[in-house]
């Protein structure tokens, strides 16, 4: 029953999830799981979220843990706190995060971790919501359109061909995650973009292209109760401008140095 030395720790950030937490799906996954530990981070919830999560972690000792933040700090800070806590306390080879609404089903964790085995040089795997034949991707059409525009802007900012930076399913090699998450993020809404920007600065442009993998998801279903409102979508654009100012020129410098065979600045 116990997962004493988890191979993967998945952080699940939660804020006021009492009404929509899919407790049964977590129970089914945890009852069958041997190598993955779920670390729930209660981000200062004001409802019964903490109580539900305590029940869940008590039901599955060694397979589920709870980290409580006294004040609401936002998803970026909650994920960061969970990643660093997981690295320090559990020392798993892999660590990542999944959104609490389970738009990406929990068994997808196994598909993502398998890529680290089949592609040994992989440093991180991102879920990617590619609507294609054979997949089941349900997403509000307006959010999809905005998402494609936003993805193009992200690709231009970071100068890499990323299809879906914002999918809430990501897994990293722990030693990489510790470096990326070592400092607080500038952005509240699009810290996923900053993750990639930091990695390019740390590892280089060509290394990023070779070691970051996007996995087209087989299933992703918008739960219809998204916490991101239209006005929040518009807040992403100023944040992206901030990241463009911080990363675009530096990434251009790295690309130029690599083309010339010089050490990464």
Q: Phi, psi at residue 170, to the nearest 5°?
A: -145, 140
> What DSSP state is assigned to residue 253?
H
In a domain, 1, yes or no: no
- 83: pLDDT strictly greater than 50: yes
Cβ count near 85 (within 10 Å): 17
Rounded mean pLDDT of 172-191?
Answer: 96
> pLDDT for 97-126, tens place per residue?
999 999 999 999 999 999 999 999 999 999
Higher local confidence (pLDDT), 94 or 34: 94
What tens digit of pLDDT does each residue of 125-163 get? 999 998 888 888 887 777 778 888 999 999 999 999 999
Is residue 156 assigned to a domain? yes
CA 240, distance to chain mean position in Å, is 17
161 found inside a domain: yes
Assigned domain for 3 exists: no
Per-residue model confidence (pLDDT) at position 92? 97
207-250 pLDDT tens trace: 999 999 999 999 988 765 555 555 666 778 899 999 999 999 99
Chain-wide mean pLDDT for the chain? 92
Q: Which domain holds residue 55?
A: 8-259
Strands 169-173 and 124-128: antiparallel
The pTM assigned to this predicted structure is 0.93
pLDDT of residue 4: 61
pLDDT of 1 > 50? The answer is no
In this prediction, residue 140 carries a pLDDT of: 79
| CA gap 175, 96 in Å, rounded | 12
The CATH number covering residue 192 comes to 3.90.550.10
- What percentage of the chain has pLDDT greater than the value 90? 80
DSSP string for residues in 85-99: HHHHHT--SEEEEE-
pLDDT at residue 254, as a whole number: 96
Total domains, the chain? 1
Q: Answer yes or no: are the C-beta atoms of 23 and 52 closer than 8 Å.
A: yes
Is 2 part of a structural domain of the chain? no
Local structure of 170: helix, strand or coil? strand
Task: Please report whether residue 87 resides in a domain.
Answer: yes
Distance of CA 141 to the CA centre of its chain: 22
- Tell me whether residue 201 is in a domain: yes
Q: What is the pLDDT of residue 2?
A: 47
Let me know if residue 185 belongs to a domain: yes
């Amino acid at each position: 029953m116990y997962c004493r030395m988890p191979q993967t720790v998945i952080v699940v950030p939660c804020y006021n999830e009492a009404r929509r937490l899919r407790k049964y799906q977590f129970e089914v996954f945890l009852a069958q799981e041997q190598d993955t530990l779920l670390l729930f981070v209660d981000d200062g919830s004001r409802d019964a979220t903490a109580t539900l999560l305590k029940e869940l972690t008590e039901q599955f000792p060694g397979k589920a843990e709870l980290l409580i933040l006294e004040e609401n700090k936002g998803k970026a800070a909650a994920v960061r706190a969970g990643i660093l806590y997981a690295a320090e306390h559990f020392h798993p080879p892999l660590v990542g995060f999944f959104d609490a609404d389970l738009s990406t089903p929990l068994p997808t964790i196994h598909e993502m971790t398998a890529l680290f085995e089949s592609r040994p040089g992989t440093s991180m795997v991102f879920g990617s919501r590619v609507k294609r034949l054979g997949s089941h991707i349900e997403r509000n059409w307006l959010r999809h359109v905005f998402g494609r525009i936003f993805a193009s802007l992200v690709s231009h900012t970071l100068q890499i061909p990323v299809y879906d930076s914002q999918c809430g399913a990501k897994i990293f090699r722990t030693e990489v995650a510790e470096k990326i998450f070592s400092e607080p993020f500038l952005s509240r809404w699009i810290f996923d973009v900053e993750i990639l920007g930091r990695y390019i600065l740390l590892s280089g442009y060509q290394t990023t292209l070779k070691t970051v993998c996007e996995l087209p998801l087989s299933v992703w279903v918008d739960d219809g109760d998204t916490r991101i409102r239209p006005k929040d979508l518009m807040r992403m654009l100023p944040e992206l401008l901030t990241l463009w100012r911080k990363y675009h020129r530096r990434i251009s410098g790295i690309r130029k140095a690599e083309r010339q065979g010089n050490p990464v600045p």
